[in-house]
Amino acid sequence: MKRDLTSIFDLDVSEIYKIFELTKEMKEKLKKRIEHKLLSDRTLAMIFEKPSLRTRVTFETGMEQLGGHAIYLAPSDIKLGKRESIPDVAKNLSRWVDLIMARVFEHQSIKLLAQHATVPVINGLCDLEHPCQILGDIFTITEKAGGLDNITIAYIGDGNNVCNSLIAASALLKFRLNIATPEGFEPNQDYLNKASQAQLTHNPAAAVADADFIYTDVWASMGQEAEAEKRKIIFRPFQVNAQLLSNAKKDYRIMHCLPAHRGEEISGEVIDGPASIVFDQAENRLHIQKGIMVWLMLDK
């Protein structure tokens, strides 16, 4: 039976570690320039309802490195659900390509694609989750910390798609997760209910106090641009800056999924400082997605 990656919850713990194993192999082989065209003659369709730098470039480059081919479908190409219904898009693409990745507004669009496609569907970000991002980020943490034992991650800011995927990862992989959001901007409650290691507070200083990794993301996600000015005022006490970090342990690392807005959710000195691992995260998007694609197509 085909598998999809619509949510981190689509995976179990052993499958996540299997993907990490494949990712490590992909990364080592690329560094040594050892070719391994595991997906030769396979085609990936990439549907985008929103802009992207990392997701587009890493999926396209990753597919190329695996010997396959990727087709970029811009927001104006398909007009998902408007020019053609989502089930019809899924059924058409399934006749031509081997894999679909989609970045959409609503999680329901990913679910519909997955339901009607006969090929695997990967969530490249929706309103509920950003699973490829968080799998890459947890892989990055395992590289830096040697594993997840006794690791605490603090997430500061908006309880958004990235935060929800982090909670799902905590539910499965059992790392401690301290989340600090303004009131009214909490993450998905069903996700929190599943993650006994995740703690929610509205106090960012308390959340960073025992954290090994401190993660933030934009205050207004794609599609929330109209709220950006209002959010800048509400979220101001949640900026990850030197003052907030004076409450943290010494050897923390700073994480951000990017794109970042310096001077909003994070200060320039922090994101560009020595504790920042944001470009390691960005690099690992390439390796993790190769791991995910190989797992979905060949290994599961």
Which residues contribute to the site for ligand CP (CB under 6 A)?
52-55, 125, 133, 257-259
Q: Nearest 5°: phi and psi at 70?
A: -125, 140
Q: Which is nearer to ligand CP, 38 or 214 (CB)?
A: 214
Neighbours of 115 (CB within 10 A): 13
Query: Is 288 buried (19+), middle (13-18) or exposed (0-12) by CB count in 10 A?
Result: buried
Q: Where are the alpha helices (DSSP H) in the chain?
A: 13-31, 54-65, 75-78, 86-96, 107-116, 131-145, 161-173, 189-194, 204-208, 228-235, 242-245, 268-271, 278-294
The yes or no reply on residue 221 touching ligand NVA (CB under 6 A) is yes
Q: Which of residues 6, 65, 152, 160 is near ligand NVA by CB under 6 A?
A: 160
Nearer to ligand CP, 111 or 285 (CB): 285
Strand partners, 200: 179
Residue 53 interaction partner, one of ligand NVA, ligand CP, none, beta carbon < 5-8 Å per kind: ligand CP
Q: Is 161 in the site for ligand NVA (CB under 6 A)?
A: yes
**Distance in angstroms between the alpha carbons of the first and the last residue of the chain:** 10
Choose one: 32-40, 98-106, 205-213, 214-222; the region binding ligand NVA (CB under 6 A). Answer: 214-222
Which of 95-103, 148-156, 157-165, 208-216 is the region at the interface with ligand NVA (rule: CB under 6 A)?
157-165
Residues 236 and 182: their CA atoms lie apart, in Å, by: 10
Neighbours of 68 (CB within 10 A): 21
Q: What distance in Å separates the CA atoms of residue 82 and residue 37, rounded to the nearest whole number?
A: 37
Using CB under 6 A, which residues numbered 99 to 128 contact ligand NVA? 125
Query: Could you tell me the smallest distance in angstroms from the CB atom of residue 193 to ligand NVA?
Result: 22
On whether the CB atoms of residues 165 and 130 are closer than 8 A, the answer is: yes
Radius of gyration of the chain (CA): 19
* Closest distance of CB 187 from ligand NVA, Å: 12
- Indicate the residue among 29 and 50 with the shorter CB distance to ligand CP: 50
What's the min distance (Å) between Cβ of 88 and ligand CP? 26
H/E run at residue 240: none
Q: Residue 242 binds which entry of ligand NVA, ligand CP, none, with Cβ cut-offs from 5 to 8 Å by kind?
A: none
Active-site positions?
A: 103, 130, 133, 217, 257, 285
* CB-nearest residue to ligand NVA: 221
Show the tokens assigned to 164: 């929800």
Tell me the two tokens of residue 55. Answer: 């997701």
Stretch that binds ligand NVA, among 82-90, 103-111, 156-164, 277-285 (CB under 6 A): 156-164
User: Between residues 58 and 152, which has the closer beta carbon with respect to ligand NVA?
Assistant: 58
CB of 118 to ligand CP, least distance (A): 26
Among 222, 228, 234, 275, interactor with ligand NVA by CB under 6 A: 222
Q: What distance in Å separates the CA atoms of residue 279 and residue 258, rounded to the nearest whole number? A: 9
Contact residues toward ligand NVA (CB under 6 A) are 125, 130, 160-162, 217-218, 221-222, 257
